[in-house]
């Protein structure tokens, strides 16, 4: 297969487009929880403390982070498709557990499975698109991948909000999740083709002086986490970005409900942020191929910090909607660009493991954001928790400014 592999989005348009669609289904699995689950914790299970309510996000974040790392290593060892299919098999019970849960422990268990599902499926769709696209349009490839995923998160958040407002918090909103899981598994088994050969083909075409190709998994972890300034800067920025998302997912619906907003309006706010985030990545991924990665990442982190500050200052639907749009725009500048930067630096032979390590740190942000904001909200109040997140996001942008070099120019690809 290596000899016949052709790199480029156009050369692999059928499989690339299929993988974009599959990642939309992956995002749909996540989106089914965005509007409903925090409210379900309070209304059906009687959880009142913020930290108790946000346990489902903390568990999800830790499990997904670890699974990302494992998925990268497994993809290099066994191929991409088996990991993708395994992720969908594990995700099938999630909607059923959410529908039938008699106690909050069942919800937490569902989010363990959801974390594994997301880590295996989203990681492999990222890796497979990087394999197919080759080096020249890597930013565009990541923009399309992440746009599909987060537009689906937005659509499912909006749909489940409307369904919950009309029929109740469960079981009806989670029927969509059942359909998504079944379709994702079927397409992955029947239609997806292995892409590992494309990575090997790219590796064979690199000049001899390219950075070391033979790294053990432990060395890739150290390189991505600490040793390489650009990779480590990307990893911390990814963590802080998803710390923001953990806050938006778990804390903000409770804040909006406390201000008297209806379920429909909470659903709109829950959908606006990932919706702008998703659509924006259609532009920002390809934009980073033209202007480079670093300036988009720094600016995006600072735009997010301003948006989160506006959320803390506001108390009306209109202001919160404007802040959600700004938060989505800032995240769109950062999200595909960080993945593209990691792809720029890592050798194809250990790129999947590097992507897995980056996504390990990035998705730990879910857990850290949920726990941190939950504790601060319980000890002080939710507004202070939001202000702390705004400050951390601003500092993260400074770290990228100081430590990261321009990876797209640096590779010369």
Residue 412 confidence (pLDDT) = 40
Look at residue 128 and tell me whether its pLDDT is greater than 50.
yes
202 within domain boundaries: no
The domain containing residue 231 runs over which residues? Answer: 10-193+227-411
26 within domain boundaries: yes
263 within domain boundaries: yes
Please tell me which residue, 208 or 195, carries the higher pLDDT value: 195
| Cα torsion through 163, 165, 169, 174, rounded to 10 | 10
Residue 308 confidence (pLDDT) = 97
386-407 pLDDT, tens digit per residue, is 999 999 999 999 999 999 998 8
Look at residue 413 and tell me whether its pLDDT is greater than 50.
no
Transcribe 273-332 into DSSP letters. Answer: HHHHHHHHHHHHHHHHHHH-SHHHHHHHHHHHHHHHHHHHH--SHHHHHHHHHHHHHHHH
Look at residue 410 and tell me whether its pLDDT is greater than 60.
no
206 within domain boundaries: no
Tokens of 346: 């890592």
| Cβ(293)–Cβ(139) below 8 Å | yes
316-367 pLDDT, tens digit per residue, is 999 999 999 999 999 999 999 998 899 888 877 788 889 889 989 998 998 8
208 within domain boundaries: no
201 within domain boundaries: no
222 within domain boundaries: no
Minimum mean pLDDT range among 58-72, 93-107, 208-222 = 208-222
Residue 2 confidence (pLDDT) = 42
CATH code of 404's domain: 1.20.1250.20
Is residue 6 classed exposed, middle or buried when 0-12, 13-18 and 19+ CB atoms within 10 A define those classes? exposed
146-191 pLDDT, tens digit per residue, is 889 888 988 898 898 889 888 988 888 899 999 999 999 999 999 9
- Number of structural domains (the chain) is 1
364 within domain boundaries: yes
Tokens of 157: 């958040």
Reported as type and span, the H/E element at residue 270 is helix 263-291
pTM of the full structure: 0.79
CA angle 151, 152, 156 (to 5 degrees): 120
294-308 pLDDT, tens digit per residue, is 999 999 999 999 999
Residue 95 confidence (pLDDT) = 94
Output the average pLDDT for the chain: 88
Look at residue 15 and tell me whether its pLDDT is greater than 60.
yes
225-265 pLDDT, tens digit per residue, is 999 999 999 999 999 999 998 888 778 988 998 899 988 89
């Amino acid at each position: 297969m290596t000899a016949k592999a052709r790199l480029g989005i156009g050369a692999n348009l059928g499989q690339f487009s299929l993988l974009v669609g599959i990642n939309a289904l992956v995002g749909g699995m996540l989106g089914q929880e965005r509007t409903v689950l925090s409210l379900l914790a309070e209304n059906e299970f009687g959880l009142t403390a913020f930290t108790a309510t946000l346990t489902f996000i903390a568990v999800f974040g830790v499990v997904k982070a670890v699974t990302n790392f494992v998925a990268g290593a497994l993809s290099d060892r066994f191929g991409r498709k088996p990991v993708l299919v395994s992720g969908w098999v594990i995700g099938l019970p999630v909607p059923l557990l959410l529908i039938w849960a008699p106690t909050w422990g069942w919800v937490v268990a569902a989010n363990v499975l959801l974390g594994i599902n997301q880590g295996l499926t989203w990681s492999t769709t990222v890796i497979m698109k990087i394999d197919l696209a080759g080096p020249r349009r890597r930013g565009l490839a990541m923009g399309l991948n992440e746009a599909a995923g987060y537009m689906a998160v937005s659509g499912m958040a909006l749909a489940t909000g409307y369904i919950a407002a009309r029929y109740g918090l469960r079981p009806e909103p989670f029927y969509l999740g059942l359909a998504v899981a079944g379709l994702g598994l079927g397409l992955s088994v029947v239609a997806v083709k292995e892409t590992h050969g494309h990575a090997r083909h790219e590796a064979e075409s690199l000049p001899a002086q390219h950075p070391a190709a033979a790294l053990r998994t432990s060395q890739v972890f150290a390189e991505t986490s600490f040793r390489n300034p650009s990779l480590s800067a990307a990893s911390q920025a990814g963590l802080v970005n998803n710390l923001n998302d953990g806050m938006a997912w778990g804390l903000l619906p409770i804040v909006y409900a406390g201000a008297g907003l209806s379920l429909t309006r909470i659903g709109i706010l829950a959908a606006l942020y990932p919706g702008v985030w998703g659509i924006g990545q259609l532009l920002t991924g390809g934009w980073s191929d033209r202007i480079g990665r670093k300036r988009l990442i720094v600016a995006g982190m600072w735009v997010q910090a301003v948006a989160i500050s506006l959320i803390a200052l506001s108390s009306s639907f209109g202001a919160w909607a404007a802040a959600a749009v700004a938060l989505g725009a800032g995240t769109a500048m950062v999200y595909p660009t960080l993945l593209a930067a990691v792809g720029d630096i890592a050798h194809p032979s250990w790129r999947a493991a590097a992507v897995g390590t980056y996504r390990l740190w990035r998705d730990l942000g879910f857990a850290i954001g949920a726990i941190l904001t939950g504790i601060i909200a319980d000890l002080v109040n939710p507004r202070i928790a939001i202000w702390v997140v705004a400050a951390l996001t601003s500092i993260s942008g400074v770290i990228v400014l100081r430590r990261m070099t321009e990876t797209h120019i640096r590779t010369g690809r």
